[in-house]
Each structure stands twice: as C-alpha cells, then as structure tokens.
C-alpha cells in the first residue's frame, strides 16, 4: 500500500488555498493517488457544526473560548478523518490546520503563543503534516481580491487591525523553519506548478 501523505495549505483569507487545493487534488488523482480534501474548522459533522458557531457573525465569542472551539473541532477532525485517511494510504489535503490557530488566535487575538502551541499539540495528538505550504500574499493583491468578494463571516468581519496582524503573522510564519513558503502574488498556474514540484518530492519517498 502507498504511504499516506498529509498536506496542509495555509495563508490569510483569500490567499488562494481552496483554488490550489482543488488543482492539487486533480493532479494527484491523475497520478493514481486517492485524495481527500478537507478543511478547518470543519471536516466532520461535529467539526462543521462548530465551524458554523465560529463563523456566525451573531456569535459572541471571547478569544479563549474561540481558541478552545477551534481546538475541539481539530481533535475530532484529526481522529475521525485525517488519521484514518493516512492509515489507508491516502493523500489528505487540509485547507488550514494548526498554523491558522497560531496566526489568528495567537498573533491576531493576542493569546499567549505558548498556550496556543500546547493546545495545538494536544488537539493534533502530536500529528505533524508532511508539508505545510504557506501563501505569502502582497498587500495590494489582498485589496484587489477583497473588492471582488467582500468578507461576510465573523472572522472576515473582524476589525482591520486584527486582519492586518494576521497577515503580518503569516509573512513571519511562512519563513519559519519547517514551513514551505509560496509566493501567492503570482498567477494561479505559476503557484500550482510550484506546489506540485514541492509535493512531488514527497511522492518519491
Ligand atoms: N493567484 C491568484 N491570483 C489572482 N486571484 C486569485 C489567485 N488565486 C485565487 N484567486 C482568487 O481569489 C479569491 C480567493 O481564492 P480562494 O477562495 O482560493 O482563497 P482561500 O484562501 O480559499 O480564501 P478563503 O480564506 O476565503 O476560503 C477567488 O476569487 C479566487 O478566484
Ligand atoms: Mg477557501
């Protein structure tokens, strides 16, 4: 049986994660791999219910509660979907994972980064992605994409200062050891070619 591969796509809102996840899936399937695309928060029935609460603009959620809701959704997602897919030799592509919590709840909301790290470790049962691809997006590309589809959910509606902190955090996190940074300001095709080259290395092992 083929070895399971866990790929995570990370980046701010509108950075192109979903677009690239679908293209990557098609390519991998063409290579004969079974692929599961999933997302956070979400991916299982319970986790999708938590997603609804988290993204509902009517929800009043203070930062620490927000952190625990994301992590609760992550435990269920990891146990019920990610680990079984890996065990079955599939490629699992997750649109967001732990780095989002570091960026949004840590840097964005200002929660203690060590607390976030500890909870991330607990919620993943120590599972580490084989690769975390982080989109680094120039500010002007954002403004442009924002105009095309203005944000509607609770996180997208958060104050500009919060979103700026998150975007800045991603720029920093993308350069951390162990992260695979991708310049997200280019064409969809150029970015996809870059991602395929990086993922191709994992397929050889
Ligand atoms: N490289 C690119 N250049 C220009 N526009 C892009 C590029 N990639 C994606 N887009 C467009 O930007 C918008 C956001 O892309 P996409 O939905 O893939 O991002 P996302 O990171 O999944 O966003 P969200 O966080 O809202 O789910 C879409 O309208 C998409 O068509
Ligand atoms: Mg998306």
* Of 30-39, 85-94, 121-130, 152-161, minimum mean pLDDT range: 152-161
**Helices 63-77 and 113-123: crossing angle, nearest 10°?**
20
Two tokens, residue 138: 């120039």
What separation in Å is there between the alpha carbon of 132 and the centre of ligand 1?
18
Two tokens, residue 162: 């919060």
| Closest ligand 1 atom, residue 20 Cα | 18
What separation in Å is there between the alpha carbon of 188 and the centre of ligand 2?
14
Per the structure, how many domains does the chain have? 1
Per-residue model confidence (pLDDT) at position 147: 66
| Closest ligand 1 atom, residue 151 Cα | 26
Which among 89, 75, 78 has a CA at the least distance from the CA of 5?
89
Q: Give the other-Cβ count within 10 Å of 146's Cβ.
A: 14
E strands within 21-117?
Answer: 35-39, 91-95
Contacts of 161 by beta carbon, 8 Å cutoff, 6+ apart: none
* Of 65-69, 152-156, 182-186, 199-203, minimum mean pLDDT range: 152-156
What separation in Å is there between the alpha carbon of 95 and the centre of ligand 2?
7
Q: What is the pLDDT of residues 40-59, one digit of tens each?
A: 999 999 999 999 999 999 99
| Closest ligand 1 atom, residue 156 Cα | 26
| Closest ligand 1 atom, residue 149 Cα | 29
Q: Give the other-Cβ count within 10 Å of 105's Cβ.
A: 26
Residue 102's domain comprises: 5-204
Do 50 and 98 meet the contact criterion of CB atoms below 8 Å apart? no
Cα–Cα distance between 96 and 107 in angstroms, integer? Answer: 16
What separation in Å is there between the alpha carbon of 112 and the centre of ligand 1?
30
Whether the pLDDT of residue 19 is over 90: the answer is yes
Run of H or E including 6: strand 5-10
Label residue 138 by pLDDT band (50, 70, 90): confident
Whether the pLDDT of residue 143 is over 70: the answer is no
Minimal-distance CA residue to ligand 1 atom 25: 13
C-alpha dist (Å) from residue 11 to 35, 49, 76, 84, 87: 21, 23, 22, 25, 27
Whether the pLDDT of residue 71 is over 80: the answer is yes
Phi and psi angles of residue 26, each rounded to the nearest 5 degrees, phi first: -60, -45
Minimal-distance CA residue to ligand 1 atom 9: 16
pLDDT mean over 128-157: 83
Run of H or E including 189: helix 188-204
CATH code at 176? 3.40.50.300
Per-residue model confidence (pLDDT) at position 139: 78
Which among 75, 65, 76 has a CA at the least distance from the CA of 154?
65
């Amino acid at each position: 049986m083929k070895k399971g591969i866990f790929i995570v796509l990370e980046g701010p809102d509108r950075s192109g994660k979903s677009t690239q996840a679908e293209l990557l899936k098609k390519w991998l399937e063409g290579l004969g791999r079974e692929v599961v695309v999933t997302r956070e928060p979400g991916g299982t029935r319970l986790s999708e219910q938590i997603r609804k609460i988290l993204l509902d603009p009517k929800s009043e959620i203070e930062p620490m509660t927000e952190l625990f809701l994301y992590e609760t959704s992550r435990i269920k997602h990891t146990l019920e979907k990610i680990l079984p897919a890996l065990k079955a030799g599939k490629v699992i592509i997750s649109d967001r994972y732990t780095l989002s919590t570091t960026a949004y709840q840590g840097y964005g909301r200002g929660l203690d980064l060590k607390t976030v790290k500890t909870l991330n470790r607990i919620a993943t049962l120590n599972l580490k992605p084989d690769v975390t691809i982080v989109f680094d997006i120039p500010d002007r590309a954002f403004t442009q994409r924002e105009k095309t589809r203005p944000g509607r959910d609770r996180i997208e509606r958060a104050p500009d200062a919060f979103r700026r902190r998150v975007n800045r955090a991603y720029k920093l996190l993308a350069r951390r050891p162990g992260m695979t940074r991708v310049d997200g300001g280019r064409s969809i095709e150029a970015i996809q070619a870059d991602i395929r080259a990086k993922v191709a290395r994992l397929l050889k092992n």
